[in-house]
């Protein structure tokens, strides 16, 4: 059975935009493992019943089914120990980075790009997405992102820990990327896949880091559909 990764997309099956799916995409590439992308749309929960899970990514690796990007990363290191490690040391050591990413990057990016996402979706998923997100934010998606240009300086300032780290080493993982890089890169790929908003200034060392990630694995991420930002 071929290795399959169920991934979130909209009407364009090539435009994978979930930050969690990008973590798993990068993780598979990091391990040098080929996979077939299986397009999955919001509301298609029935199609994930086999995994006893309601969200992507879901990895099917032969007879093994693994749901959740964090579980996938740990599974890949356990199942393929002879290939480059994703997690160095104990997984607990990555929890703070993941929490920083989720509370600072994902939350911050969401408030700047969420109104760009409905245009990527078919009618049924669009209705689900708009309703669920407007409920979450308590306002229309256009209202959420109305001041996004004004939010950019604070968002960029919040990346300062990355800049300090990048003075010492080119990747979260040190001299080479590891799963911490893929976690954070996934957030930037979410923005890049969904929105024309330019999150990073060209002279920012975080931009240079993102360029290095875009170049990995023969430019896998760089070739993905995006808005050029």
Residues that bind a copy of itself (CB under 8 A): 88-90, 92-100, 102-104, 160-165, 168-169, 171-175, 178, 180
CA 42 to chain centre: 16
Decide whether 10 or 173 has the Cβ nearer to a copy of itself.
173
Least distance from a copy of itself to the Cβ atom of residue 157, Å: 10
CB of 27 to a copy of itself, least distance (A): 16
38 or 97: CB nearest a copy of itself: 97
Cβ(197)–Cβ(229) below 8 Å: yes
* Cβ atoms of 191 and 113 closer than 8 Å: yes
**In whole angstroms, what is the distance from residue 42 CA to residue 10 CA?**
8
CB count within 10 Å of CB 102 equals 13
Residue 60 and residue 218: Cα distance in Å, rounded?
24
CB of 90 to a copy of itself, least distance (A): 5
Closest approach, Cβ 85 to a copy of itself, in A, equals 9
Asked if the peptide bond before residue 57 counts as cis, ω within 30 degrees of 0, the response is yes
Q: Quick one: 174 or 196, whose CB is closer to a copy of itself? A: 174
Q: Minimum CB separation from a copy of itself for residue 192, in Å? A: 21
DSSP 7: E
Report d(CA 86, CA 207) in Å as an integer.
22
Nearer to a copy of itself, 89 or 123 (CB): 89
Radius of gyration for the chain, computed over Cα atoms and rounded to the nearest angstrom: 17
Between 77 and 125, whose beta carbon lies closer to a copy of itself?
77
């Amino acid at each position: 059975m071929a290795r399959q990764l169920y991934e979130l997309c909209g009407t364009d099956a090539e435009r994978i935009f979930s930050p969690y799916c990008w973590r798993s995409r990068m993780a598979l590439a990091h391990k040098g493992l080929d996979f077939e992308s299986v397009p999955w749309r919001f509301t298609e929960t029935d199609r994930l019943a086999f995994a006893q899970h309601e969200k992507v990514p879901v990895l099917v690796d032969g007879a093994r089914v693994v749901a959740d990007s964090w579980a996938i990363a740990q599974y890949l290191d356990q199942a393929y120990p002879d290939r480059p490690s994703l997690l160095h040391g104990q997984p607990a050591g990555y929890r703070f980075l993941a929490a920083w990413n989720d509370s600072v990057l994902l939350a911050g990016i969401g408030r700047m790009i969420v109104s760009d996402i409905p245009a990527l979706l078919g009618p049924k998923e669009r209705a689900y997405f708009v309703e669920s997100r407007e409920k979450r934010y308590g306002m229309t998606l256009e209202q959420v992102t109305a001041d996004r240009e004004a939010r950019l300086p604070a968002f960029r300032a919040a990346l300062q820990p990355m800049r300090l780290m990048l003075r010492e080493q080119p990747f979260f993982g040190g001299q080479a990327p590891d799963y911490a890089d893929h976690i954070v890169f996934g957030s930037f790929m979410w923005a890049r896949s969904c929105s024309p908003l330019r999150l990073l200034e060209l002279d920012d060392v975080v931009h240079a880091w993102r360029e290095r990630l875009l170049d990995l694995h023969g430019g896998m991420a760089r070739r993905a559909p995006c808005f050029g930002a």
